[in-house]
Amino acid sequence: MKSIIVGTAGHIDHGKTALVKALTGIDADRLDEEKRRGITIDLGFAHMDLPAGGEAAKNDGAKNDPAKNGEILRLGFVDVPGHERFVRNMLAGVGGIDLVLLVIAADEAIMPQTREHFDILQLLGVQRGITVLTKSDAVDAETLEVVRLEVEEFLRGTSLDNPKSLNDPKSLNDSNSIVAVSSLTGAGLEELKRAIVAAAAEVQPRDSRAIARLPIDRVFTMKGFGTVVTGTLVAGTIRREDEMEVFPTGRRVRVRGVQVHGQSAESAVAGQRTALNIAGASTEDLSRGMTLTPPATFEVTRRADVRLRLLSSAPRPLKNRARVHFHSYAMEAVAEVVLHEAKQIAPGEEAFARLKLPEAALLLPGDRFIIRQFSPVVTIGGGVVLDAAPIQRMSGYADFLKALAGGDAESILQARIARRRHKGISISRLIAVTGWTKNVIETRLAQALRAGEVVRAGELLLHGPALEALKVHIVSTVADFHKNNPLVGGISKEELRTQVDAVPQVFETVAAMLVREKKLEVAGELMRLPGRGVAMKDEESESKKKIEDAFASAGLKVPALQEVIAGLKVDKVRAQKLVTLLLREKVLIKVSDELVFHRNALEELRRQMTTYKAKSAKIDVAKFKEMTGVTRKYAIPLLEYLDRERVTKRVGDVREIL
């Protein structure tokens, strides 16, 4: 079953609601005020299933229709208000439509909201539609023909441009057509249904396997059920008992029940008008403009880079940092437009811009939007979101946006990976910033991974050239370290990672590559160039030996480190580096912040403890001092060292020898 969302558009009192009722039998005006005033104020909804395999498909016009084999065409209708005061309500409903019925009354022809609604449809990228001349019973044939010609001229060069009329059966295979109807007499309704079938055949089905997104356009309470939200499911599938996240608040809710076209269902799929019975939120917690998605998948934003087009009919140029009314799906906000490379854009022109929103919202690449002048409020333009997670102060940003605007999925993904340079980006983050599934991303990157254009580093993906540049940077940094620190055997891994500003996963991957390529080698926690070690001058070698001898000959009664350093020929800085070198070589061992011992002395102490254990399994401080001949100054740090080394274990005031 193919599901299509059909939206109406057109001037007030041109018969949109009456047309929907004539087609479906459902009155889309649901508010008492609408019925009392006789005008549509807010969005209305209806539905029908066309027998696409029956009479409507028997002529040549349906030969390309997938429903020819008996598939049912399920239509959800979104009826919008036509009054200029309610355009914001109209915008809340048209974002998810697949096919439009542009309604023009034969007795009035093209009117101001006809033009504004049509501009909105063009900006939203609605490519399929049927122009419906309503109230055909109110005019004679000659007037109807004049109106048809006027409409053809109006549509020329647009996505709904089609010079043929459905009065000619040969034109039934045209997806964009003009058909005259009368909702009062029923004239032309069957022709309109055939036109809908023909147009629906060319509508690309929405992806039910994509990540689910339901922009909310209604919130209400139903007795016996609780909170209910409705919207057009623009992507994915939502099932009963699914957990969902409400954007932008982050609230978690559970789907208690699903309805599609007024009937209970186990699930709703993309392209269907959907009602969800929600647990975990009240009507006070939800409102039009929020969105339901799977939890922990997307992130909100207050900035989005876009490609923006100003209508030719816009009253004036759009200046940098102008404030506008921003509409995307059911969401609306006041936004600031920051133009990337211009001070203003003239009517009819396009530009890259950054939209700044006062509050967080969920936007994804590919989302269409409309902007309306701040005051007076008229539709002036719109466009498409390119990047809802912009990076501040990024060089080459115009080229990046051009890649997003004109590239295929593979080049877009590579551009997003490349801009992160050697920082890398995770699959989960790519999902969040693109809206694509893990399977789509991995499939699209498979060739680039095989070619080395993209490289995995743990859970991260890196641009191949950026990784190669990082490898060069790391080797250069190690070489510089050797040059500046000849008395140190190498640079610690963590210090090196910090200096090259790499995240741990990336650093570990690249370091391992460099070791395999024999460009670096590892010595414990140090990294160094192959074959490089400590390079000492004669006086440095002499001083190193003097330090070692001083501690070796002292046994456990070691001198103060500063006293030893003071007696050397080298300066204090180099002397300290020599001590560090001896510590790294484990010739000297640091027992406390102030005391350093030679390893031979500590090995002898271990033997003494083993010998003492033969007489007694316990030893106190006094006995330890007597055994070693040291003062309390040395005894306490040495015993604490033995505790750390698990030679002894303190129990009260004594130590158990392990």
Give 10-residue mean pLDDT values along the chain (658 residues).
89 89 85 70 86 51 46 87 77 88 93 91 90 93 93 89 51 65 93 91 89 94 90 95 96 96 91 94 95 96 96 94 95 95 93 95 95 92 94 80 90 93 93 95 94 91 94 94 80 92 93 93 86 67 80 84 77 79 83 87 89 88 88 89 89 86
pLDDT value for 519: 94
User: What class does CATH assign to 214-293?
Assistant: mainly beta
CATH of domain 301-387: 2.40.30.10
pLDDT value for 159: 82
Amino acid at 131: T
pLDDT value for 176: 54
* Residue 392 and residue 414 in contact, taking contact as beta carbons nearer than 8 Å: no
Domain limits, the chain: 2-201, 214-293, 301-387, 407-535, 538-657
Query: Which helix H or strand E contains 47, and what residues bound it?
Result: strand 44-50
pLDDT value for 59: 45
Distance of alpha carbon 200 from alpha carbon 117, whole angstroms: 21
* CA distances (Å), origin 578, targets 335, 354, 497: 62, 56, 24
407-535 has the same fold as 214-293: no
Name the architecture of domain 407-535.
Orthogonal Bundle (1.10)
Using H for helix, E for strand and C for coil, what is the string for 416-481?
A: HHHHCHHHCEEHHHHHHHHCCCHHHHHHHHHHHHHHCCEEEECCEEEEHHHHHHHHHHHHHHHHHH
Task: Considering only CA atoms, give the Rg of the chain.
Answer: 38
Stated pTM of the model: 0.78
The CATH fold assigned to 538-657 is Arc Repressor Mutant, subunit A (1.10.10)
CB atoms within 10 A of CB 567: 12
Name the architecture of domain 2-201.
3-Layer(aba) Sandwich (3.40)
Query: Which helix H or strand E contains 536, and what residues bound it?
Result: none
* Residue 26 and residue 75 in contact, taking contact as beta carbons nearer than 8 Å: no
